[in-house]
Structure 1
Amino acid sequence: MTETTSPWRGAVPIETPRLVLRELRRGDAPRIARYVGDIGVARMLAVVPLPYNEKDAETFVAAMGAINADGRGLGLAVAEKGAPDLLIGVMSFIGALPVVEIGWWLGRPYWGRGFATEAARALIAVAFREPRLDRIVAGAFFDNPASLHVQDKLGFARTGESQRHSLARRAFVRHIDTEIVRPASA
């Protein structure tokens, strides 16, 4: 993309029945470090090293801010409506149109409560507001059935398998690749 501003910037914050997806802030770094530093979270992400500390989180927040500003995607904090300043996870998409890749993580205390599905559904709807976007790709490591279940619920189709390097695992791991195409009504 060659724009200097994001085509999605005006969509933030995004509200769902239970959640607020908002810009990441430097003050989110301690919670990011705590949640992403959990091996149960980190091992399901490709680009997260272990150990993961607050400086890593600050670098991540700055990188997401740059991506949001220059239009390469949208990286947002996920928070409950009743506590919008307390990050519970991150939801993002990044790429070069006509394709972006969506990804997310939630802190372990927030697993199994439908938050990932709710937040991803809202972010996908915002992404497809961009008329040049044809499809969103995603996926998960083979041993992350929860993420694959969320993708199934959202309508992602499995397109194959690949190998992705996991920094936390220090190894290549089998990855299930998925995608969702622009709905006819979007």
Structure 2
Amino acid sequence: MSEELQTERLLLRSIGPADAGPITELVQDPRVYRMLARVAPNQSKAQTLAWISGQDAAAKADMEHVRAMVLEGNLVGVIGADRKSEGAPFTIGYWLAPMAWGKGLTTEAAKTLLSWLERRGETAFLSGHFVDNPASGRVLHKLGFMRAGRSKLFSLGRGETVEHFDMARLARNA
């Protein structure tokens, strides 16, 4: 997903080295990292840069597509889709800075990302949320995701295993 995507209020663009500082700062907020599986509370800028540096290759291999969520010129979150193997469904993930919560931005960004993936021929999607994050559950329900199960997922942010609702959705064109 190298092209930029525009929503009503957001620009979804590729992440780059210049985003390492803002991303690192935003994910160090416990309200953010506690709801993520793969972000540690003490993530450094160097770790963020290392993650960013792998994104071009992952996108070219069609294994991961990550975008900065930009509102009025400011990075307010990250959204992406990744998969474990070629042909497997993409898993949708996202996080948003607390200052941007409650405005429908994640739903708006995810609708655009899902539409882009559907136009490419993707037919099924996965996602999920920790049981103590009902706001994320509401976003996923608005997007048409249905609860598919319950699991335990290790959260780097919490340093422990957390109850997780597994969600799934078929593409609109499936």
Q: Which residue of 2 aligns with 1:92?
A: 80
Give the CA deviation at 1:49.
1.1
Deviations 1:28-71 (A, max 9, x none): 01110111011110010001112122112111211223212221
Deviations 1:4-23 (A, max 9, x none): xxxx44xx200011000000
Q: Which residue of 2 aligns with 1:160?
A: 149
For the residue of structure 2 that corresponds to 1:151, the secondary structure is helix
Structure 1 runs (4+) deviating above 6 angstroms are: none
1:44 to 31, 35, 38: 35
Q: Which residue of 2 aligns with 1:20?
A: 11
* Whole-Å separation in 2 of the counterparts to 1:167 and 1:13: 30
Q: Does the aligned pair in 2 maintain the 1:78–1:88 contact within 8 Å? A: yes
* Whole-Å separation in 1 of the counterparts to 2:149 and 2:77: 27
* Whole-Å separation in 1 of the counterparts to 2:75 and 2:145: 26
Q: Does the aligned pair in 2 maintain the 1:134–1:182 contact within 8 Å? A: yes
* Whole-Å separation in 1 of the counterparts to 2:123 and 2:5: 21
* Whole-Å separation in 1 of the counterparts to 2:88 and 2:161: 27
Structure 1 gaps, min length 5: 1-7
1:182 to 148, 171, 174: 171
* Whole-Å separation in 1 of the counterparts to 2:108 and 2:56: 23
* Whole-Å separation in 1 of the counterparts to 2:40 and 2:166: 22
Give the CA deviation at 1:170.
0.9
Q: Which residue of 1 aligns with 2:52?
A: 61
Give the CA deviation at 1:98.
3.8
Q: Which residue of 2 aligns with 1:105?
A: 95
Instruction: Indicate whether 1:142 and 2:131 are aligned.
Output: yes
Structure 2 gaps, min length 5: none
RMSD between superposed Cα atoms in Å: 1.3
* Whole-Å separation in 1 of the counterparts to 2:105 and 2:168: 20
Q: Does the aligned pair in 2 maintain the 1:157–1:178 contact within 8 Å? A: yes
Give the CA deviation at 1:134.
2.4
* Whole-Å separation in 2 of the counterparts to 1:112 and 1:48: 22
Q: Does the aligned pair in 2 maintain the 1:65–1:75 contact within 8 Å? A: no
* Whole-Å separation in 2 of the counterparts to 1:144 and 1:48: 16
